[in-house]
Structure 1
């Protein structure tokens, strides 16, 4: 009996020590470490809103709301293009209060906000691995950026550099031109049918048409065929994730079996299975290599386990497919909205396209000659940018922007704020004026290095030429076949769903030319 009691005491002691150890680790992770990070920044004169324990400034971020969305629903909101303050009112408030450099907390994630032009230039030139994509993205806290990306060796990344090389994407653009045109023509045909059935003028919600177009194009480039199911499930994951993105710093939140989490887990498993099904279905194929096949070859040249190979392939496909889908659809939606709102620019683009193409399908040479259309797209991407911010994390204590950044702190550079800065763009900064890009990006503003619609430096979007070709083909074919104006149904209400989207879609009144 005495031995039993002794054994129980030993077990109890071990459990107690273990429990104390867990509590100490949790306290350090959730309280002590964030406080140390903030203290190092405070000693350098950096201020910010006072955080609460565990949740940081999340409650303040949730209560600092804009009236724009409610006004839009009530039909009282005018169409204006300065949307930074409306989309991120808490950051705008803190920026006015503390200046362009301040700190705040998202749960146990400490963020250093640094939105000034010199930081953009420094980030473009920064090649050290001391800064990289934030851990909350790399380690699966965001479902569209998987953990498999980080499991790679030199052989894998040597092959990946070939897949990601700009030359590879340029070749993909040339190889995809015909399919882009065919996919755009299918949109034209569908709108023609709607116009005929409506008696000459159709009221069309354009969003799904353009998303379907972009989904066809990127899935053809990635998988070699139209994979509607994968694209639709990635879109569903995004819709769930964007509702919770601001809460990603609360520890353990994504592990709780909430209704939305269970739905996300189900979708992630289905996307994983569908991509691997595409991999297995392509074995032995002698057709032209697509992005998926290139990724698979790179993974198989490594010494990774099969599970690691599968995760690597799936996560890379997600990281290429989803941004490619959004980069094609959303800028086209905003550009057509702006052309509908400003018919004089719609007429200029149409005249340029008709003169350049002369009744033929757009070719690569023709797209390069479409200067007016390029100006319009650039201005659209300034007012409604794809990337609203640059994000990095300090993987070790490092010097950046003249600040000693503690390990683990995330850096946010809000590009939207810089795109709406009158000191950079002039007093007409909120006006739609493509003419500012008449001499290219370098002549568009006082500090052209701040304008980076597809990112900058070593982490810029390698598919930007692909996205621009896709945009130009779609818009050039639409303007050469139709005239269009904003429908009375249209409600102007930009929202932040990882990228800036029209909350209620875009409705156009469309007529044949």
Structure 2
């Protein structure tokens, strides 16, 4: 008698059937039941937000709002002065829309990631003051941004992060940074000599797009100061990290969509190839460092500390090779990309505001008195400092402060369930009229004349380097490097914004000038 399927055939079907059931159960739990449970806990406490769709969350609505914006922008093109425009409305219009509808704290989702969007100053303060390791960096970053950041100091949590911070942070204390000033000046002078040659060749005035020069300068500084090499030696690493950054930025909105990073798309294949190349290049640098035993050279301090920290690292979640590669990538990326981008924005704003450019230049010339720049002079550059602070307010390199509840945690009046992501939009906080006053969109360095506390009430809402215990370890290096390059540019050139400049801030993991910053340079007599 035939039963359609033999017993053997049924037995053959059982393993894949069981696998399908397990997979289905996992997907239901991770994509629907767990996120729904989390949303329910937050909504029971009064937190509102847009209703998500299955699998993609609010991504379809985000794309719809972005598409509507493009259409309305085309209709109103040229009607707005870009100096007073808020680029957050262009890059992240859905956040502004939801803020108007749901208030200063609301919940939205990208795929399976449930994110609490926070602009409320009291809640930001709670996050800034929280020292518990139960509040850390989002776990998805180690996966979705793993090719670029891995489990380095920017993304790790708990004891591993505490160990990395202990290894790396002391190398960026101010006393150490002061010892790097001569390297910064040498790197900047090399860049400026090339600018002078171009100006001379063009008959006294030249138009130059300065972004790549600034990126090379900053890459040279971080490479020589931290890894004992110069830009020509580390050029390939920086170029590949830049390519990787651009490739990963293309997928930003898909973060949280399960399996998207495993699909063999053109972008994913590019990311995988760059990841392997960068890893091999960094391990070769570390290997050469070990072979030459150059621990007595001050320029090798950081690399030496990372290598030694990898040996001392007792955490099974991170192999010694991963410890070295991931932290080097974090420092290569954060140490040069954010600084060079800020320098470009500084020059764009000074070129657009000749009075502030003249004021800053007069200060530099007065402090230096014709003598070579040094670390002591940098402390006296008050106007240059407030220009940098105002630039970081208007164009902070990082778009968000991000956190995740690694366990259930209470922040203010809210009980945050484990797995909740928290995102504080830095640029939105930096342009809040309730905090910065009616001229919040204007470039006005004078607002920082009495320090951050005098410019911003409450002062914790100024956060270009992050907030709380996860504040950027390299902020001293960044500020000193920016003072060096701006001072030297101001002392040697007058510059204006080229008519070819197009103001279109772009989000490529950092906020940068989308089409570069073309300047018209004239050498000072």
Residue of structure 1 equivalent to 2:511:
500
1:46-65 deviation per Cα after TM superposition (whole angstroms, max 9, x unaligned): 21111111011111112212
Residue of structure 2 equivalent to 1:104:
108
**Structure 1 contact 454–460 (Cα < 8 Å) conserved:** yes
TM (norm. structure 2) is 0.92
Structure 1 residue 21 corresponds to structure 2 residue 22: yes
In 1, Cα distance between the equivalents of 2:432 and 2:61? 25
In 2, Cα distance between the equivalents of 1:159 and 1:109? 28
Secondary structure at 1:407's aligned position in 2? coil
1:3-48 deviation per Cα after TM superposition (whole angstroms, max 9, x unaligned): x954543342333223212111111111111111111122122211
1:223-254 deviation per Cα after TM superposition (whole angstroms, max 9, x unaligned): 21121111111111000111111211100000
Structure 1 residue 249 corresponds to structure 2 residue 253: no
1:125-173 deviation per Cα after TM superposition (whole angstroms, max 9, x unaligned): 101121110011123544222046689997x777634432346432441
**Structure 2 contact 49–102 (Cα < 8 Å) conserved:** yes
Q: 1:353 to 1:148 in 2, by over 3 A?
A: closer
CA RMSD for the aligned pairs?
Answer: 2.5
Structure 1 residue 91 corresponds to structure 2 residue 72: no
Structure 1 residue 438 corresponds to structure 2 residue 442: no
Q: 1:343 to 1:435 in 2, by over 3 A?
A: same
Structure 1 residue 117 corresponds to structure 2 residue 135: no
Q: 2:475 aligns with which of 447, 458, 464?
A: 464
Secondary structure at 2:107's aligned position in 1? strand
In 2, Cα distance between the equivalents of 1:136 and 1:72? 38
Q: How many residues align?
A: 510
In 1, Cα distance between the equivalents of 2:245 and 2:436? 32
Q: 2:82 aligns with which of 74, 79, 83?
A: 79
Q: 1:162 to 1:45 in 2, by over 3 A?
A: closer
Q: 1:464 to 1:105 in 2, by over 3 A?
A: same
Q: 2:432 aligns with which of 414, 421, 434?
A: 421
In 2, Cα distance between the equivalents of 1:76 and 1:380? 25
In 2, Cα distance between the equivalents of 1:151 and 1:189? 41
Q: 2:239 aligns with which of 232, 252, 259?
A: 232
Residue of structure 2 equivalent to 1:221:
225
In 2, Cα distance between the equivalents of 1:8 and 1:147? 46
Q: 1:20 to 1:126 in 2, by over 3 A?
A: same
Residue of structure 1 equivalent to 2:214:
210
* Displacement of 1:67: 4.0
Q: 1:505 to 1:77 in 2, by over 3 A?
A: farther
Structure 1 residue 362 corresponds to structure 2 residue 373: yes
In 2, Cα distance between the equivalents of 1:271 and 1:386? 23
Residue of structure 2 equivalent to 1:450:
461
Q: 1:181 to 1:424 in 2, by over 3 A?
A: same
Q: 2:491 aligns with which of 477, 480, 488?
A: 480
In 2, Cα distance between the equivalents of 1:51 and 1:187? 50
* Displacement of 1:86: 2.0
Structure 1 residue 335 corresponds to structure 2 residue 339: no
Secondary structure at 2:435's aligned position in 1? helix
**Structure 2 contact 172–473 (Cα < 8 Å) conserved:** no
In 2, Cα distance between the equivalents of 1:153 and 1:86? 36
**Structure 1 contact 72–491 (Cα < 8 Å) conserved:** no
Describe how 1:95-244 pairs up with structure 2 within 5 A: 95-147=99-151, 160-166=164-170, 168-226=172-230, 227-244=234-251
* Displacement of 1:380: 0.6
**Structure 1 contact 72–492 (Cα < 8 Å) conserved:** no
Residue of structure 2 equivalent to 1:273:
280
**Structure 1 contact 140–147 (Cα < 8 Å) conserved:** no
Q: 1:88 to 1:195 in 2, by over 3 A?
A: same
